[in-house]
Structure 1
Amino acid sequence: MGSTGGEAEVARADFPDGFVFGVATSAYQIEGARREGGKGDSIWDVFTEDKERVLDRSNGDVAVDHYHRYKEDIELMASLGFAAYRFSISWARIFPDGLGGKVNEQGVAFYNNLINFMIAKGIEPYATLYHWDLPNHLQKTLGGWLSDKIVDYFALYAEACFANFGDRVKRWITINEPLQTAFNGYGIGVFAPGGCEGETARCYLAAHHQILAHAAAVDVYRRKFKVAQGGEVGLVVDCEWAEPFSEKVEDQIAAQRRVDFQLGWYLDPIYFGDYPESMRQRLGSDLPTFSEKDKEFIRNKIDFVGLNHYTSRFIAHHQNPEDIYFYQVQQVERIEKWNSGEKIGERAASEWLFIVPWGLRKILNYIAKKYNNPTIYVTENGMDEEDDQSATLDQVLNDTTRVGYFKGYLASVAQAIKDGADVRGYFAWSFLDNFEWAMGYTKRFGIVYVDYKNGLSRHPKASALWFSRFLKGEAAENKADTN
């Protein structure tokens, strides 16, 4: 099993009453139905038309066809025992051109049906408004997140969702991983909309507008819906834990800086009114400024922090690392091994993903300490395997490494709660194998296997069955090994 936290045994009883266990997905990765139900194109629909941009030259036009199979998927989720489902709404299904003029009733009907079915099956909806699939019209006409006008359009879209779904959805997430949109989408261009390589300052502008858009959506909710609906609105940030490579002060400071450039980039403005000083020092005029009015407006516009966390790294100070600009400017070196040569953890399929359960406890405690103990949900956590075309179904379902991953990371969450962090829920990524962005279908994060060759049939993996036993409080023996 390798470094999975010494095979920590973890049980449902290790978590407080009322702690929520769920699974997560996103619209573009699973829905498909690109041209059905009145949907407009998103930037990912258009981005993937250039086949060179995706490893296996694939796209999400059909994805895993959740649009037509949502009942089957929700029934499976319920039968496994999950009490919550974090899904995302496709902006281009609600407003095909993104402009917020006229709501697409077919899009609203789809999400109403999905939400109603979830609730009927005893599953609580956690809805994400933006998981990277911007209506392409807004990209084409405005430049997408590079335009300050996007803030108003996002607020209109958020309002339409609150108005149509907020009587049943009580947990809202504005934006998923704004860092990835800014950095991969507008900074280096490996994600949609692409095509902006080398223009690094753009990534900070895109991030700036995402922060303002998040605040605008929260503002709309608090002014118009909160009293009647009684829900909460949060933001989902992604962060790897940065473990100092040595006791040296410069490495300790570098590790802090690395977290500033991930978490602090988004949470510092919301909690403290401005970007981290370490970013300002290194980026200068590349980093936009908030007016006093903006600072007032964004401050404390958050009801909970959603954390997406997968992995950790050792971080050392480096004056001028041979790396892409984003890391050069941080003056950090990301290291995978201890001095002894031992890896920080076993590697999953993705080259960036090492299994380091203790990192999750550290980052949760960091958020608790730095931001005055906010309510936290772990909104994504999981690992991937390679899509192995030669393996039998039995082999691909026997995902024992993932079982170990979840045991270790869940034990880490339970520890953080004991340490005092106010963690209220945990969502496994992902419910289904799906379209993995620039990696296409070559990586599988699902706890449910999707057979791409045989009609997209669904098959729960050992990890799904482990979760089911865990949620039902059954003995957590690793029965997966008996296949």
Structure 2
Amino acid sequence: MYKPDYPHEFPKNFLWGGATAANQIEGAWNVDGKGLTTADVVRQASDRKKMSMDDVTRASIEEAVADTTDTHYPKRRGNDFYHRYEEDIRLLAEMGFKVFRFSIAWGRIFPNGDDAEPNAAGLAFYDQVISTLEKYHIQPLVTLSHYEMPIHLTLEQNGWASRKTIAAFNRFTETVFTHFRGRVPYYLTFNEINTGTWGFHETGAIDTDRSSDEQLQLRYQALHHQFVASAMATKQLHAIDPSAKMGCMLARMQTYPATPNPVDVLAAQQADQRNLFFTDVQARGEYPEYMNRYFADHGIRIQMAADDEAVLKANPVDFISFSYYMTTVTSADQGHVVNGNMATGGRNPYLQESAWGWQIDPVGLRITLNAMWDRYRKPLFIVENGLGAEDKLEDGHVHDSYRIDYLRAHIAQMKQAIGDGVQLMGYTMWGPIDLISFSTSEMSKRYGFVYVDQDDEGRGSLARIKKDSFYWYQKVIQSNGADLS
């Protein structure tokens, strides 16, 4: 629609906030009837630049299940949000949060994943969390599956590799939608669903004993089951709580061609297609044609039930959310690669890197926002973005100007994208209160506006200390993004 001008400010109802995951903050892994999940059995990485959360076997899982401590499994302790949620939410409110993204742990509601009845204590905990958010007028944004599922389903049916997991998951989602009806305006089904192509952490399926071709077949089949479960959850939500909206969630991996050479441009286009395949299915409701060749070339055959395609088509998501941390460079002849948030690609000489080797590209966020808006014409929501760094606590203060610089640059590009015409719902930066790293399970990779006194071995008082960035983000929210100084 033609207009003589363009938006110069963030929308008045823009949703400023932050994002977390149950398995990275809650702790209390064996409290109030919670069952063990896939996140509870992944050991801390020995190399902070090597993401080893998928190097699991049945033997390593059985070893973890037998271990009744959190010594080697930091996600079991989190940052103790389970006991400190009131204090933590009060801090979020002090910053002015409009929305808080958190996940509801499937293993707290159904400890085994397929129990006959939900765990009342688990539902009660999230009742208390949501009530506290309501007290401070903060809207909940709930992720239904954020890199954890009951480990019982892995051991019994190899997680999402089994079609039986669809029914178990949709019983969980129906329970959540019914119990919290009218209290949660926004849901997401699977966190960074595309990372299921990497294995266990997202699919809950053990495949380390298989060849690379067999792994790829299993992973895409598991992802198909998640597509169907997501569509069924969307159908459930629209029937149970019609005012609530369902979104999908992608780890956005914007990639640039290494050179103007057409073969590099093609390689970058194909990498982008394989990334956007997931939102194509969940937002458009069908498998895109370009994946037919990819599946055939790799010997992948998706087994579908007779009505699967109809279910996908009838139940697309209402909005699209994604994480954005870095961009990559792609060439037909890939040389040295860098890693970050499941993205792998060539090094970009025009970009700086974080201490973890993640290339920092604020302008890439504007590129991504425009590309996704043009492709889908559905509201977009940035639900993860941030800088992991080794913050130093000095005389009771953390001076994290580097984090402010990072966020300032990305928020400025969000504003530019809104001016371009992108319909952007909100922004929840990753990890507003320091939490356990997903990729390496270390505490020293900190993202938050609030410092948590805990080290990689779990030692510390767990005291919460406001960083300089706390007051900066408070000012950003108060000015609705106008004051980034």
Q: TM-score range by the shorter chain?
A: 0.7 to 0.9
Match of 1:242 in 2: 255
Match of 1:364 in 2: 369
Q: Which amino acid aligns with 2:231?
A: A
Q: Which amino acid aligns with 2:293?
A: R
Match of 2:109 in 1: 94
Match of 1:37 in 2: 32
Match of 2:450 in 1: 448
Match of 1:315 among 330, 338, 341: 330
Match of 1:222 among 238, 244, 256: 238
Match of 2:187 among 144, 165, 172: 172
Match of 1:5 in 2: none
Match of 2:121 in 1: 106
Match of 1:20 in 2: 15
Match of 2:400 in 1: 399
Match of 1:340 in 2: none
Change (3 A) 1:176 1:285: same
1:132/1:181 contact within 8 Å kept: no
Aligned-pair distance for 1:247? 2.4
SS across alignment from 1:443 = coil
The answer for unaligned runs of 5 or more in structure 2 is 1-6, 56-70
Aligned-pair distance for 1:321? 6.5
2:336/2:346 contact within 8 Å kept: no
Match of 2:59 in 1: none
Aligned CA RMSD, in angstroms, stands at 2.9
- Displaced runs of 4 or more, over 6 A: 49-52, 320-324
Q: Which amino acid aligns with 2:32?
A: G
Please list the CA deviations of residues 257-290 of structure 1 after superposition, one character each: whole Å capped at 9, or x if unmatched. 1111222234246415114515633644325255
> In structure 2, how many angstroms separate the alpha carbons of the residues matched to 1:68 and 1:36?
11
> In structure 2, how many angstroms separate the alpha carbons of the residues matched to 1:192 and 1:75?
38
| 1:195-274 → structure 2 map (5 Å cutoff) | 195-196=208-209, 198=212, 199-226=215-242, 230-268=243-281, 270-271=283-284, 273-274=286-287
> In structure 2, how many angstroms separate the alpha carbons of the residues matched to 1:287 and 1:383?
39
2:323/2:385 contact within 8 Å kept: yes
> In structure 2, how many angstroms separate the alpha carbons of the residues matched to 1:444 and 1:122?
27
> In structure 1, how many angstroms separate the alpha carbons of the residues matched to 2:217 and 2:180?
37
2:41/2:73 contact within 8 Å kept: no
Matching of residue 375 in structure 1 with residue 376 in structure 2: no
Change (3 A) 1:312 1:287: farther
Match of 2:473 in 1: 467
1:43/1:193 contact within 8 Å kept: no
Q: TM-score, normalised by structure 1?
A: 0.85
Match of 1:297 among 311, 315, 321: 311
> In structure 2, how many angstroms separate the alpha carbons of the residues matched to 1:295 and 1:382?
36
| 1:428-447 → structure 2 map (5 Å cutoff) | 428-441=429-442, 442-447=444-449
> In structure 2, how many angstroms separate the alpha carbons of the residues matched to 1:154 and 1:170?
20
Change (3 A) 1:79 1:49: closer
Higher mean alpha-carbon deviation, 112-121 vs 195-204, is at 195-204
Match of 2:62 in 1: none
Aligned-pair distance for 1:454? 3.1
Match of 1:163 in 2: 178
2:78/2:436 contact within 8 Å kept: yes
Q: TM-score, normalised by structure 2?
A: 0.84
Higher mean alpha-carbon deviation, 402-411 vs 282-291, is at 282-291
Give the total of aligned pairs: 444
SS across alignment from 1:437 = coil
| 1:271-350 → structure 2 map (5 Å cutoff) | 271=284, 273-275=286-288, 277-278=290-291, 280-281=293-294, 283-288=297-302, 290=304, 293-299=307-313, 300-318=315-333, 334-337=345-348, 343-350=349-356
Aligned-pair distance for 1:94? 0.5
1:89/1:111 contact within 8 Å kept: yes
Change (3 A) 1:284 1:419: same
Please list the CA deviations of residues 306-345 of structure 1 after superposition, one character each: whole Å capped at 9, or x if unmatched. 1111111122223x77889xxxxxxx982213xxxxx332
Matching of residue 384 in structure 1 with residue 376 in structure 2: no
Q: Which amino acid aligns with 1:347?
A: E
Higher mean alpha-carbon deviation, 152-161 vs 279-288, is at 279-288
Matching of residue 48 in structure 1 with residue 64 in structure 2: no
> In structure 1, how many angstroms separate the alpha carbons of the residues matched to 2:388 and 2:326?
12
Aligned-pair distance for 1:127? 0.6
1:39/1:92 contact within 8 Å kept: yes
> In structure 2, how many angstroms separate the alpha carbons of the residues matched to 1:60 and 1:161?
23
Higher mean alpha-carbon deviation, 407-416 vs 279-288, is at 279-288
> In structure 1, how many angstroms separate the alpha carbons of the residues matched to 2:398 and 2:43?
29
> In structure 2, how many angstroms separate the alpha carbons of the residues matched to 1:364 and 1:295?
28
Change (3 A) 1:356 1:51: closer
> In structure 2, how many angstroms separate the alpha carbons of the residues matched to 1:413 and 1:133?
30
| 1:125-136 → structure 2 map (5 Å cutoff) | 125-136=140-151
SS across alignment from 2:152 = helix
SS across alignment from 2:100 = strand
SS across alignment from 2:299 = helix
Please list the CA deviations of residues 401-459 of structure 1 after superposition, one character each: whole Å capped at 9, or x if unmatched. 11111111111111111111111111010112111134122411222111104311111
Matching of residue 148 in structure 1 with residue 163 in structure 2: yes
> In structure 1, how many angstroms separate the alpha carbons of the residues matched to 2:224 and 2:126?
29
